[in-house]
Structure 1
Amino acid sequence: MRHAWMILPLALSLAGCVETEKVPTGAEDFGDFCSACHGLSGKGDGEGAAALARKPADLTQLSAKNGGVFPGTRVMAKIWGYTGVAPGRQDSASPMPEFGPLLQGELVPYDGGDGIPTPTPLRLVQIADYLKTLQE
């Protein structure tokens, strides 16, 4: 017990060596996953947009097209890949890929407006929060 005082400094120094995985920001995930089609500004003018049969959505107008309210839950469902189409089948009206598998990880409570905090992937919430900043 008389050498217990030596353990604390050792434990603290080892704690500093543990590397935690950095979670990308919403802006970083948007840049990595969305900007190729939607463009860095979110207007649907990314480099990959020209190759698509249907122009990507202008993400700066989501609130304007929803009575001035950002449709966070609907946006996150679309990003995740929930489109109301049978699992494994692509919505033929939309070339939007499913990003759910890429965004899994830490869950945080998210209230989609019904007063019920629901466990939701942090990265998905961060992308939606970033999209709110792009609204015109």
Structure 2
Amino acid sequence: MIRTAVVFLAAGAALSACAPEQQVSGRALYGDYCAACHGADGKGDGPAGEGLGKAPADLTTIAARNGGTFPKVKVMSVIDGYTRRGDRSSVMPELGVALQEGPLVMVETGEGVLTPTPVNLVALADYLERLQE
């Protein structure tokens, strides 16, 4: 078990070393993939959201809806589409494929577990965290 942890940590250090020299812009990614439906300010009032059967979520209240804590891992899972696979009622596209371009960074996904995650997905989630009211 210790050997596995050492290998995993070494792999994590190697992935972290691959971090891009230029900062990925979560704001730009939001503009590209989210603003049309969720609106420029994340309030759920984007022009493309009007024709949907279900109104886009207000992304500025994610933390408030979660007891005041921003659930970053859950948010990334929703964006990626992982937790929505098979949900025919969801109108939000799965962005996992679109956001996987670029390097991986290590993200703690709970109880000290580090998971290699696309840097673009992390940047977008970080931007959404900054939008919280």
- TM normalised by structure 2 equals 0.78
Could you tell me how far apart the structure 2 residues matched to 1:110 and 1:133 are? 18
Partner of 2:32: 32
Aligned residues: 113
Partner of 1:93: 89
Q: Which of residues 117, 120, 125 in structure 2 aligns to 1:123?
A: 120
Displacement after TM superposition at 1:37 (Å): 0.2
Structure 1, unmatched stretches of 5+, are: 1-19
Question: Which runs of 4 or more aligned residues in structure 1 lie more than 2 Å from their structure 2 counterparts after TM superposition?
Answer: 83-86
| Alpha-carbon shift at residue 84 of structure 1 (Å) | 4.8
In the alignment, which residue of structure 1 is the partner of 2:98? 102
Unaligned segments of structure 2, at least 5 residues: 1-19
> Is the contact made by 2:24 and 2:119 (CA closer than 8 Å) also made in structure 1?
no
Distance change >3 Å, CA 25–CA 117, structure 1 → 2:
same
Higher helix share goes to which structure?
A: 2
Query: What CA RMSD, in Å, does the superposition of the two structures yield over aligned residues?
Result: 1.8
Q: Distance in 2 between matches of 1:133 and 1:114?
A: 24
1:6-58: CA deviation from partner (whole Å, max 9, x where unpaired): xxxxxxxxxxxxxx9x6741100000000000001001000101010100010
Higher relative contact order (CA 8 A, sep 6+): 2
CA–CA separation in structure 1 for the residues paired with 2:126 and 2:104: 15
Q: Which amino acid aligns with 1:101?
A: V
Q: Which has the larger radius of gyration?
A: 1
Q: Please show how residues 15-54 of structure 1 align to structure 2 within 5 Å.
A: 24-54=24-54
Which deviates more from structure 2 when the two are superposed, residues 23-32 or residues 121-130?
23-32
The residue identity in structure 1 corresponding to 2:75 is: V
Alpha carbons of structure 1 residues 54 and 30: separation in structure 2 relative to 1, 3 Å: same
1:56 is aligned to 2:56: yes
What is the correspondence of 1:45-84 to structure 2 with a 5 Å cutoff? 45-84=45-84
Shift of residue 81 of structure 1?
1.1
Counterpart CA distance in 2 for 1:114 and 1:45 is 36
How high is the TM-score relative to the length of structure 1?
Answer: 0.77
